[in-house]
């Protein structure tokens, strides 16, 4: 789930407005695009890349490590199914508002496959200096620069702010993993934490969570065994109980998902939880140089 230079990306929905815009940005950042998918324009070229009728057709002709989905909600399930059938290892699903029944079907299909999904409703993944996949400003050196802090975030906007602060603090990022804000996602906070723990470039982790669900509490169980320092910011501290926030997954239910329970779980295993996003970069900048510089 961490993008590496040389990995090839298939853009499903490349000829649409958003697909075109972000494909150009990805190319500018160094991401290696293998081509795109649009059944109605198969055989054409777009942005100098081949357009295929399906992901299955694409992998018969080009190598694809990752698929990214720029497809409307009602058609997203079939696009993910296509990428799974093609055997593509990582599928980045940017689409939000996918019907719940369709998301359940996607998860069922994933269980019988070798594919991993990031999202739905993710902003994508970024490896500064190598490339990005999704709708993050991965081509902007004022926001992203190579460094040693791995960033995990449900929110793309909060993730961008944290990465901007890290860059301004002179730290940079080893990788950004946007897990997505929907309640049924393929890659969890714990999954992303494990990936950064294994990553040799990552020396410290910035974990941006929010109220709702239990992913931060579950991640805390793994964080207990990590030697890399982790600092966290949890959004939604002032939200009243039962309030639905910007993400579909940010709903506090009785007995779980609250700001207090998440903070308590993380602090109990040695994770530093800060009160504001700006404090996160400041805290990491003050760690010993060998840990986060």
DSSP one-letter code for 256: B
- pLDDT of residue 72 exceeding 90, the answer is yes
State the pLDDT at residue 288.
73
Q: Average pLDDT, stretch 23-37? A: 98
So where are the chain's domains? 8-118, 140-292
- pLDDT of residue 74 exceeding 80, the answer is yes
Average pLDDT score, the chain = 93
- pLDDT of residue 251 exceeding 70, the answer is no
- pLDDT of residue 255 exceeding 70, the answer is no
Point out the residues that are catalytic: 247
Q: Average pLDDT, stretch 71-77? A: 98
Give residue-wise pLDDT tens across range 202-228: 999 999 999 999 999 999 999 999 999
Per-residue pLDDT band at 293 (split at 50, 70, 90): very low
- pLDDT of residue 245 exceeding 60, the answer is no
Q: Report the 10 Å Cβ neighbour count for 45.
A: 11
| CATH code for the domain defined by 8-118 | 3.40.50.720
- Rounded Cα distance between 51 and 25, Å, is 18
Question: Which pair of tokens denotes residue 100?
Answer: 């719940």
Please report which helix (H) or strand (E) contains residue 5, including its range. Answer: none
Name beta bridge partners: 49: 46
Give residue-wise pLDDT tens across range 263-272: 999 999 999 9
Q: Do domains 8-118 and 140-292 have the same CATH topology?
A: yes
State the pLDDT at residue 236.
86
Per-residue pLDDT band at 80 (split at 50, 70, 90): very high
State the pLDDT at residue 239.
60
Cis peptide before 120 (omega within 30 of 0): yes
Give residue-wise pLDDT tens across range 163-201: 999 999 999 999 999 999 998 999 999 999 999 999 999
Q: Report the candidate in 68, 23, 67 with the shortest Cα–Cα distance to residue 47.
A: 23
Q: Which residues contact 23 (CB under 8 A, 6 or more apart)?
A: 11, 14, 33, 36, 47, 49
How far is CA 135 from each of CA 22, 33, 219, rounded to the nearest angstrom?
6, 15, 25
Q: Cβ distance 23 to 32 under 8 Å?
A: no
- pLDDT of residue 249 exceeding 80, the answer is no
State the pLDDT at residue 237.
83
Give residue-wise pLDDT tens across range 126-171: 999 999 999 999 999 999 999 999 999 999 999 999 999 999 999 9
| CATH code for the domain defined by 140-292 | 3.40.50.261
């Amino acid at each position: 789930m961490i993008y590496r230079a040389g990995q090839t990306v298939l853009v499903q929905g490349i000829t649409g407005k958003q697909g075109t815009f972000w494909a150009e940005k990805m190319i500018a950042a160094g991401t290696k695009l293998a081509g795109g998918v649009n059944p109605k324009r198969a055989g054409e070229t777009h942005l100098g890349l081949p357009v295929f009728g399906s992901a299955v057709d694409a992998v018969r002709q080009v190598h694809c490590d990752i698929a990214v989905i720029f497809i409307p909600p009602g058609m997203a399930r079939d696009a993910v199914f296509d990428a799974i059938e093609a055997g593509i290892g990582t599928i980045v699903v940017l689409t939000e508002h996918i019907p719940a029944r369709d998301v359940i079907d996607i998860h069922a299909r994933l269980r019988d496959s070798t594919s991993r999904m990031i999202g739905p409703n993710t902003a994508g993944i970024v490896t500064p200096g190598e490339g990005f996949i999704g709708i993050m400003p991965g081509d902007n050196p004022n926001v992203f620069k190579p460094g040693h802090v791995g960033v995990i975030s449900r929110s793309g906007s909060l993730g961008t702010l944290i990465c901007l602060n890290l860059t301004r603090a002179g730290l940079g990022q080893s990788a950004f993993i946007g897990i997505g804000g929907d309640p049924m996602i393929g890659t969890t906070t714990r999954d992303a934490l494990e990936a950064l723990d294994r990553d040799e470039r990552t020396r410290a982790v910035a974990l941006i969570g929010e109220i709702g669900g239990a992913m931060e509490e579950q991640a805390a169980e793994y964080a207990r065994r990590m030697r890399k320092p982790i600092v966290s910011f949890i959004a939604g501290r002032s939200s009243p109980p039962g309030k639905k926030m910007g993400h579909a997954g940010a709903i506090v239910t009785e007995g779980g998902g609250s700001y207090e329970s998440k903070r308590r779980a993380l602090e109990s295993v040695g994770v530093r939880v800060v009160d504001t996003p700006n404090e996160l970069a400041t805290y990491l900048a003050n760690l010993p140089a060998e840990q986060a510089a």
